[in-house]
Amino acid sequence: VFFILNAEPIRVLVTGAAGQIAYSLLYSIAKGDVFGKDQPLVLLLLDITPMLPVLEGVVMELQDCALPILREVIPTDKEDIAFKDLDAAILVGSMPRREGMERKDLLKANVAIFKSQGQALDKYAKKTVKVLVVGNPANTNCLIAAKSAPSIPKENFSCLTRLDHNRACSQVATRCGISANVVKNVIIWGNHSSTQYPDVHHCKVNVQGKDVTAFDAVKDDAWLKGDFISTVQQRGAAVIKARKLSSAMSAAKAICDHMRDIWTGTAEAEFISMGVYSTGNPYGVPEDLIYSFPVSIKDKTWKIVEGLVINDFSRAKMDATSTELVEERDTAVSFLGV
């Protein structure tokens, strides 16, 4: 281990680093849950200037955790420092929706942020950087960042739908009275919004050592095609209603799952959900979107799982979320030139 710990540290950026998701996320990254227990790290923490005093407190706490792989923590409000030579970027910071704010205005504010961060990735980061966009509207923010970083392959960009994926697994597991880790291959299709389609038609549930379909395990088709879907779609809003704050602990866990799977790959015959570039996909989803698909990952490269049979029920829901994403993209792209 001593030899490995002298390995070259990787540089990992978290934006919105003084916020509540980052507060739940940074410890997990810094102790090795994501990139490996023996992979040294330099953490770069970006936030807006008024948040720098808060960020100093976060830095103190990270230092006080006395973690063996954390080589350096660099808090900053400057993109040229934050994005330099990055191996991984987790873009959590975005403009939140304020009361009375039109969706169009929200998109416009976020286009400005993610255009700027995309350009910074293009200019300062490694060309091999893996970029995960979390800040909402995540799919469209991710697309804008990718379009603003033409020298970085589009495949290096993804957005977070793993939280929705984990929510779907957990709902099925709870319904069956089993643990969530024996529920495999649920799919989140489309947008990280309430139009997303949580699909269990290809899901496998291990019941008493035997793999069965979710429909056979749950034995309640009406629930799986009704309340299950709406519960997953609306879960974020339900958490906000209860906590008066958005999901942070569960979002941070999903970010860790997503990034760890990129870094170390997915298990044989298993797939997970992430928002990726849709061009060339085998499911008839419009091109030039960031759309959530079932993917498998090997050697830090994702592939959309092919050959899944899509029934009419699923097709309609996949198309509905596509329609929303196309509209969101077109509105956002119209602001790009501004």
Active site residues per annotation = 192
**Ligand-binding site membership of 98 (annotated):** no
Angle formed at CA 85 by CA 80 and CA 90, multiple of 5 degrees = 80
Closest to 94 (Cα-Cα) out of 51, 149, 138, 128 = 138
**Ligand-binding site membership of 227 (annotated):** no
Separation between Cα atoms, residue 277 and residue 159, nearest integer Å: 10
Residue 3: how many other CB atoms lie within 10 Å: 7
**Ligand-binding site membership of 329 (annotated):** no
Separation between Cα atoms, residue 289 and residue 333, nearest integer Å: 11
Q: Tokens 């799986």: give the residue.
A: 224
**Ligand-binding site membership of 167 (annotated):** yes
**Ligand-binding site membership of 260 (annotated):** no
**Ligand-binding site membership of 103 (annotated):** yes
- Distances from the Cα of 175 to the Cαs of 5, 164, 186, 331, in angstroms? 43, 17, 15, 39
- Distances from the Cα of 78 to the Cαs of 14, 73, 116, 120, 231, in angstroms? 13, 14, 11, 10, 40
**Ligand-binding site membership of 110 (annotated):** yes
Which residues lie closer than 8 Å to 247 by C-beta, 6 or more apart? 163, 235, 236, 239, 240
Q: For every residue of 282-295, which 3-state class applies, written as one string?
A: CCCCCCCCEEEEEE
**Ligand-binding site membership of 190 (annotated):** no
User: Which residue ranges are tagged as binding site for NAD(+)?
Assistant: 47, 110, 134-136
Residues of the binding site for substrate: 97, 103, 136, 167
Residue positions forming the annotated binding site: 47, 97, 103, 110, 134-136, 167
